[in-house]
Structure 1
Amino acid sequence: MTGNRPDPEGHTELDVRTGRPTPDSRLITVSGELDRGTRDRFDRVARAVLAERPATVLVELSGTGFIDSSGLTSLINAYRTALQTGVRLALVAPSEPVARILALTGIDQVIDSYPTSGAALHA
């Protein structure tokens, strides 16, 4: 996994990986800072995964140390796309700083969040 090293412009890297926990689900693991400078990477991956139309897409945020309004918008856009295409999208293990922002903005009341991928898949 890539560390959170600053790029030449001073932005922290965002590592976005995908997996397939079950045949009908996809996992997007996000590590680093999801902000204005990095959201495009998340958006590209989320669009590609959602285009596959799995039953469930999980977005794992335990390694995400920071999220700004741009990152929140990306999560909301992915959630809206999921709703429109009949895909269930849920968040998994948001880090403490991310969970705090999700709660402050009310997004935790809109997008379901679970402590583990297993809990999300069995909900």
Structure 2
Amino acid sequence: MPDEIVTNLDRDAGTTTVALQGEVDVLTVDQVRVALEEALAVRPREIVVELRDLSFIDSTGLGALIFGFQRARDAGIRFRLAHPSRPVHQILMLSGLLEVVEVTL
């Protein structure tokens, strides 16, 4: 379904990974927020948002990532984005998010 995004939470040795697949937009952003809140709730040392299988993210999705980043920072949790596809990396770069949030290519 186009209005569903797969968000998998994987907890391992102090790192919680939120893997996003498909497209994050106004129809799917609530699922991303919920996944980030669940990741924050376990208070890991680090949250990694895996973007390898994400094909698109809009401004609402960027807002959700900023929300997660700010909440993690305030809780002393490392927060990073990992492996964005070329189009998603371009959007992150244009948004200025890469200047604030750590990214692993």
Specify if TM > 0.5: yes
Question: Are 2:82 and 1:102 aligned?
Answer: no
Q: Which 5+ residue runs of structure 2 have no aligned equivalent?
A: none
Q: How many residues align?
A: 105
Q: TM-score, normalised by structure 2?
A: 0.95
User: Equivalent of 1:25, from 9, 15, 35?
Assistant: 15
Q: Which 5+ residue runs of structure 1 have no aligned equivalent?
A: 116-123
- CA shift, 1:95, in A, is 1.0
Question: Are 2:6 and 1:15 aligned?
Answer: yes
User: Equivalent of 1:42, from 8, 28, 32?
Assistant: 32
- CA shift, 1:48, in A, is 1.1
Higher normalized strand content (fraction of residues):
2
Q: TM-score, normalised by structure 1?
A: 0.82
3-state secondary structure, aligned to 2:17? strand
- Counterpart-to-counterpart distance in 1, 2:39 and 2:5: 17
Name the structure, 1 or 2, with higher relative contact order (CA <8 Å, separation 6+): 2
- CA shift, 1:52, in A, is 1.0
Deviations 1:49-105 (A, max 9, x none): 111110000000011100000000000000000011111000000111110001011
Q: What percent of counterpart residues are identical?
A: 34
Which stretches of structure 1, 4 residues or longer, exceed 6 Å deviation after superposition? none
**Matching residue of 1:65:** 55
User: Equivalent of 1:51, from 41, 51, 59?
Assistant: 41
Q: Which has the larger radius of gyration?
A: 1
